[in-house]
Structure 1
Amino acid sequence: MAATGLRTRGAAPRGSYWTIRRRDNLVGYLMAAPQLIGMVLFVLMPLGLVFWYSLHEWNVLAGTFEFAGGENYRKLVADPSLRSVLGATVLFSIGLVVLNLTFALALAVLLNQRLRGTTIFRTVFFSPVVVSLVAWTVTWQFLLQSNGGINGLLAAVGMTGPNWLRGESTAMVSVVVVQVLKNVGLNMVLFLSALQSVPRQLYEAAELDGAGAWTRFRRITLPLISPTVLLTSIITVVGSLQVFAQIAVLTQGGPGTSTTVLVYYLYQQAFQFHHLGYGATLSVLLFAIVAALTFLQWRMRRKWVFHES
């Protein structure tokens, strides 16, 4: 038949390099190229450069850049301040993660009820998330001073408050609370979205079987929102290890080194003391800690995430 000699419309000629499959692959590569280029330029290259800088001693003031090998890593192991810095980092991260997730989940459960005014409260608790971080922190710096607004409220009821940001026992607590209030709304919204996806029929069936509120929460709510718990825990843990502006504005790492977390110590070494090579080494340590904790949480998902097998 004459039709058999006709070429299919849109098909590449026989022997042509640009076949349909190759054209489709090219389109896919072009679509993914911006993301890949961004990852190479802003993730992989900086990581490589930080590791390279950690092998050198870079003095910006003297204009020297000398290869030091593993000297910065030996200095890291022998650093007498590192133990207290890591201790403050662990204390801050545990306090932030526990309070943030607990408070966010409690708020989400309360605001998931069919009550009047819940929309207003959702807006109130989420609004700090969109407020400028520096503006939020500076405001709390004034509130937490010895003659600030918090102590003014305590004085109104006959109590004397401490200097919250200068006390050994109150500085870390103050920083943690300020950070929790700033970001708890984000996790609250994530939890609220997860709670609204839980079928109501499960709660009704559990009530008919005589299950109490705590049993329903433990046996139904937590298992079904466990993927969101995993997501929020990873986000919160990583965020807790990267906190800098709050420490810099509120306490500058003090009193002493009680609030000097790893990121702020890195900043001090690299940009205040101009030990850029050692600062890069601390960056490598921070990256290793974040990567290890994220990997550990991801591996543990099979044990406590309901949808994983």
Structure 2
Amino acid sequence: MTQTDTRVGPAAAGPAPGRARPFWTTRRRDQLTGYLFITPQLLGSVVFVILPLVLVVWYSLHEWNVLAGSFDYIGTDNYAALADDPNLGPVLRSTGLFSVGLVVFNLGLALLLAVLLNQKLRGTIVFRTLFFSPVVVSLVAWTIVWGFLLQDNGGINGLLDTIGVDGPNWLRGEGTAMLSVIVVQVFKNVGLNMVLFLAALQGVPAELYEAAEVDGASRLRQFWRITVPLISPTIMLTSIITVVGSLQVFAQIAVLTQGGPGTSTTVLVYYLYQQAFQFHHFGYGATLSILLFVIVLALTVLQWQMRKRWVFHES
């Protein structure tokens, strides 16, 4: 009487002895699918991020004269020139002043508007649309219009003249040019941060405010003890976006003031543009771009590390 082999498990399910396993296994097909999905993003990062960074570092070690057609290796001479540049100090001060002013006014106004528009009042949808509409307007068109408004005989001074006030030349005054550029940029992008804050505010449980009112907490105390901690992740996000954006401002400066009067509104990006594309110092311009990259990276890392101290639920 013969016996039937009833073994089950890996030994019975495995390939027959002497037969090679197929190359296109399920695991390899899944891996290939994953790689195909990330390939477009990976290629984009290599072509538009990593490769340009490498080329910028390479250019910073050379003196590239496009007009003469020369490309000479000079080592770290551009970095030595950066350390000795007498204009770098005023440029960095203007950059810092613009960044601080933009972050303070933008985030402060955006949070205030979000709190007001979060109330159950009539007409809030209209006001949300009005405040957000500048975000979708062309930056250059927005800046050109404000350039006409801020001229010596422009619309702003025309309104001031109706109440007997002689307005200054906003874009040509040492004390008003930077303030004007900051205000133009704040009104352009405050709607975006307002919408982000508004979404965060609508996610705060109403029960917390009701409990705080029962305990006798004032509206201001509720704001600092409940609202701010619970929307702190959004505050961190908007602060990072605003800081990085403030360090990359260019079109507003180029259209409104061209860096003047003097160097009072010459921020780092505009100074980089002047050196590279107006004075044709492309090697030195690349060096300035590396400085800008280091500053943005350092501030972003600093803000990200600070989240553990002031962002709710972070540890």
Report how far residue 20 of structure 1 moved.
1.3
1: CA distance between counterparts of 2:278 and 2:128?
A: 41
Residue 272 of structure 1 pairs with residue 281 of structure 2: no
**Aligned counterpart in structure 2 of residue 64 of structure 1, from 59, 70, 95:** 70
Residue 295 of structure 1 pairs with residue 301 of structure 2: yes
Question: In the alignment, what sits opposite 1:222?
Answer: 228
2: CA distance between counterparts of 1:20 and 1:128?
A: 51
**1:144, 1:151 within 8 Å by CA — same for their partners in 2?**
yes
1: CA distance between counterparts of 2:232 and 2:20?
A: 54
**Aligned counterpart in structure 1 of residue 129 of structure 2, from 107, 123, 133:** 123
Alignment deviations for residues 250-270 of structure 1 (CA, whole Å, 9 cap, x no partner): 000000000000000000000
Report how far residue 14 of structure 1 moved.
6.5
2: CA distance between counterparts of 1:22 and 1:214?
A: 59
**Aligned counterpart in structure 2 of residue 173 of structure 1, from 173, 176, 179:** 179
Residue 281 of structure 1 pairs with residue 287 of structure 2: yes
**Aligned counterpart in structure 1 of residue 253 of structure 2, from 232, 237, 247:** 247
1: CA distance between counterparts of 2:51 and 2:89?
A: 30
SS of the counterpart of 1:295? helix
- Name stretches of at least 5 consecutive residues in structure 1 with no aligned partner: none
Question: In the alignment, what sits opposite 1:205?
Answer: 211
TM-score w.r.t. the length of structure 2 is 0.94
1: CA distance between counterparts of 2:109 and 2:164?
A: 29
1: CA distance between counterparts of 2:186 and 2:23?
A: 58
**Aligned counterpart in structure 2 of residue 44 of structure 1, from 37, 47, 50:** 50
Question: In the alignment, what sits opposite 2:165?
Answer: 159
**1:226, 1:306 within 8 Å by CA — same for their partners in 2?**
yes
- Amino acid across the alignment from 1:160: D
Question: In the alignment, what sits opposite 1:55?
Answer: 61
SS of the counterpart of 2:231? helix
How many residues are paired up? 305
2: CA distance between counterparts of 1:273 and 1:252?
A: 15
**1:227, 1:307 within 8 Å by CA — same for their partners in 2?**
no
Residue 84 of structure 1 pairs with residue 62 of structure 2: no
- Amino acid across the alignment from 2:177: A
SS of the counterpart of 2:216? coil
1: CA distance between counterparts of 2:179 and 2:305?
A: 31
Question: In the alignment, what sits opposite 1:96?
Answer: 102
Pair 1:152–1:3, CA change in 2 (3 A): farther
SS of the counterpart of 1:175? helix
2: CA distance between counterparts of 1:3 and 1:94?
A: 75
Residue 111 of structure 1 pairs with residue 113 of structure 2: no
Report how far residue 17 of structure 1 moved.
2.0
SS of the counterpart of 2:131? helix
- Name stretches of at least 5 consecutive residues in structure 2 with no aligned partner: none
SS of the counterpart of 2:68? coil
User: RMSD of the TM alignment (CA)?
Assistant: 1.5
Q: What percentage of aligned pairs have identical amino acids?
A: 72
- Amino acid across the alignment from 2:52: P
2: CA distance between counterparts of 1:177 and 1:291?
A: 26
SS of the counterpart of 1:57? strand
Residue 261 of structure 1 pairs with residue 267 of structure 2: yes
**Aligned counterpart in structure 1 of residue 31 of structure 2, from 11, 25, 33:** 25
TM-score w.r.t. the length of structure 1 is 0.96
- Amino acid across the alignment from 2:213: E
Report how far residue 7 of structure 1 moved.
7.0
2: CA distance between counterparts of 1:93 and 1:166?
A: 20
2: CA distance between counterparts of 1:154 and 1:287?
A: 42
2: CA distance between counterparts of 1:196 and 1:304?
A: 21
2: CA distance between counterparts of 1:256 and 1:284?
A: 25
